[in-house]
Amino acid sequence: MFEKVDLLINNSLIVTMNSKRDVIPRGYVAVRDGVIVDVGFGDGRSKYSAEEYLELRRSVVVPGFVCAHTHFYGLLLTGSPWFAFIEPPSDFQQNLQRIWWALDESLTYEDIYVSALLGSILFARTGTTFFKDLLDAPNVTLGSLDYIEKAVNEVGIRGLAGFSVTQRRSIEEGYIGIQENERFVRKTLNDAKTNVKGIFTLHASFTVTDDVLIKSKELADKYNTIYAMHVEEGLIDVYHNIERYGKRPFERLRDIGFLSPRFLAIHGVQITEDEMKILKHYDVKIAHNAMSNMINGVGVPPVGKFLDLGITVGIGNDGYVMDVFENMRATYLVHKVVNKDPRVLTPLKVVEMATVDAAKALNVYSRVGSIEVGKEADLTIIVPEIVHTPLNEHTIYGHLVNSFNGKDVWGVLVKGRWVTKERKVLTVDLEKVLDYAHKVIERLWDRMLSMESKYKVEWLKP
């Protein structure tokens, strides 16, 4: 008798990312009720009968990629005339003031929904099945995370979402942001039907007071969630903390009891070696966003040193480019050039950072990030159109980092359910989404272009 399963993926090269990093040159993955029930060598048809059987020539099965950090709303400015309207920013602080804070303050609930629709589709089309999103929308704070949840559920991928708590305009708005985060965490915590869970997130240490930091950490402890914040992306963060508190950012966070293994520090570009030791001591995780760091001109974090210390680093995109292959490739290359050392980062390590390490950073490794029995069937199936050198268990990591791209993704499964298949989105009507989204985004751009340029920071006092 053959054992029955819902799906049998057969005769594929399988990149398990299990603890041994096994790569099966020709094998199968069996899925039942959204869970991986078997992974093995050879022909799975000798053991299983399946409701659906899939065998594709030159196919590669990898864990669904995990994005350690994104901003869906960042997609709304791609190609925007706003960049021609403003005086070009000359540093990171001006980037925030003239571009991102202008966008943040223009967002409506509909804009948030559209951005999450687009981001989820782009993730699914290019192989990412799980993410962490951080939303900045200070004029529509309360209820805003529901619109991300709605869009993500419609597309069918999964992730974590939090509101970016900030006090850049007033002390009060920080507490409103915390209120939204707690509301959404409570709403989604035990809801088995939603694909999005709430977490506690903050903008950056230079836009929040100690009280707000401590309150967010207490709530993350109460609900046992991760919590995240941009730290030391630009030098403005460092200078502000030294001026106001007499300490560098990670020193300040340590001294108020903010750090823990559930804290995800986004960026860490300007970090010192002493601060790295602090991160190691508290087992803080890092979300690395190479392409965003490049476009913002902030520098390159010492990821090689993080890894040497045993700090967990996951790859994110910071809302810039959603294709995980582009982000892996940028990560692989930039650290070689900045260190003038081609040995920095191997293809295997980069793939780990986009799968198992990102899952560990988001505290979801028990469920996703590798292809193992008992884990949920979040799978990405790659069928490259052209493979110009042999594709096998010895070359696969090099191909994942150096030659594959998002267009090579043939299909994506989330908990055993097809989200994309045959390079098409199955869960939403892509053409209708794009027609609708473009109209919404044009209205957003019109609102932004009609505003006065007035984005100045009201610096917080300690």
Q: For the chain, what is the mean pLDDT?
A: 95
In a domain, 459, yes or no: no
Please enumerate in sequence order all residues whose Cβ is within 8 A of that of 310, keeping only pairs 6 or more positions apart, or say none.
280
Q: Are residues 107 and 181 in the same domain?
A: yes
Q: Are residues 118 and 228 in the same domain?
A: yes
Measured CA to CA, the distance from residue 28 to residue 25 in angstroms comes to: 10
Q: Are residues 255 and 310 in the same domain?
A: yes
Mean pLDDT, residues 163-170 taken together: 96
Q: Is the pLDDT score of 459 beyond 50?
A: no
Q: Are residues 383 and 346 in the same domain?
A: no
Q: Is the pLDDT score of 456 beyond 80?
A: no
Residue 150 tokens, joined? 């709605």
pTM here? 0.96
Predicted confidence at residue 453, as pLDDT, reads: 45
pLDDT in tens, 80-92: 888 777 888 888 8
Q: Is the pLDDT score of 25 beyond 50?
A: yes
Predicted confidence at residue 462, as pLDDT, reads: 41
Q: What is the CATH number of the domain that holds 25?
A: 2.30.40.10
Q: Are residues 217 and 200 in the same domain?
A: yes
Burial of residue 341 (number of CB atoms within 10 Å: 0-12, 13-18, 19+): exposed
**Strand 35-41 to strand 23-32: parallel, antiparallel, or no bridges (unpaired)?**
antiparallel
In a domain, 174, yes or no: yes
Q: How confident is the model at residue 78 (pLDDT cuts 50, 70, 90)?
A: very high
Measured CA to CA, the distance from residue 301 to residue 281 in angstroms comes to: 19
Q: Are residues 34 and 117 in the same domain?
A: no
Q: How confident is the model at residue 67 (pLDDT cuts 50, 70, 90)?
A: very high
Please enumerate in sequence order all residues whose Cβ is within 8 A of that of 375, keeping only pairs 6 or more positions apart, or say none.
35, 36, 366, 367, 368, 369
Q: Are residues 172 and 223 in the same domain?
A: yes
Predicted confidence at residue 460, as pLDDT, reads: 41
Q: What is the CATH number of the domain that holds 270?
A: 3.20.20.140
In a domain, 383, yes or no: yes
Predicted confidence at residue 97, as pLDDT, reads: 86
Q: Is the pLDDT score of 457 beyond 70?
A: no
Percent of the chain with pLDDT over 70: 98
Q: Is the pLDDT score of 359 beyond 70?
A: yes
Q: Please report where in the chains the tokens 């409103």 appear, as a residue.
A: 176
Q: How many domains does the chain have?
A: 2
Q: What is the torsion angle, in degrees rounded to the nearest 10, for the CA atoms of residue 348, residue 349, residue 352 and residue 357?
A: 170
Q: Are residues 242 and 305 in the same domain?
A: yes
Predicted confidence at residue 82, as pLDDT, reads: 81
In a domain, 434, yes or no: no
Nearest one of 421, 418, 398, 393 to 409, comparing CA atoms: 421
Mean pLDDT, residues 150-172 taken together: 97
Residue 41 tokens, joined? 């060598």
Predicted confidence at residue 98, as pLDDT, reads: 86
Q: Are residues 148 and 228 in the same domain?
A: yes
Predicted confidence at residue 458, as pLDDT, reads: 40
What letters, b where the CB count within 10 A reaches 16 and e where it falls short, cover 94-114? Answer: ebbbbbbbbbbbbbbeebbbb
In a domain, 108, yes or no: yes
Q: Is the pLDDT score of 61 beyond 60?
A: yes
Q: Is the pLDDT score of 184 beyond 70?
A: yes
In a domain, 248, yes or no: yes
In a domain, 170, yes or no: yes
Structural domain range at position 398: 3-63+370-423
Q: Is the pLDDT score of 461 beyond 70?
A: no
In a domain, 446, yes or no: no
Q: What are phi and psi of 80, to 5 degrees?
A: -70, 145
Q: Are residues 87 and 158 in the same domain?
A: yes
Contact call for residues 284 and 265 (beta carbons, < 8 A): yes
Q: Is the pLDDT score of 96 beyond 90?
A: no
**Strand 128-135 to strand 158-165: parallel, antiparallel, or no bridges (unpaired)?**
parallel
Residue 232 tokens, joined? 């030391």
Q: How confident is the model at residue 419 (pLDDT cuts 50, 70, 90)?
A: very high
pLDDT in tens, 376-409: 999 999 999 999 999 999 999 999 999 999 999 9
Radius of gyration of the chain (CA): 22
Percent of the chain with pLDDT over 90: 91
Q: Is the pLDDT score of 257 beyond 70?
A: yes
Q: Is the pLDDT score of 331 beyond 80?
A: yes
Residue 116 tokens, joined? 């999450």
The sign of the CA dihedral 194, 110, 219, 179 is negative
Contact call for residues 59 and 381 (beta carbons, < 8 A): yes
Q: Are residues 160 and 12 in the same domain?
A: no
Q: Are residues 295 and 262 in the same domain?
A: yes
Please enumerate in sequence order all residues whose Cβ is within 8 A of that of 246, keeping only pairs 6 or more positions apart, or say none.
none
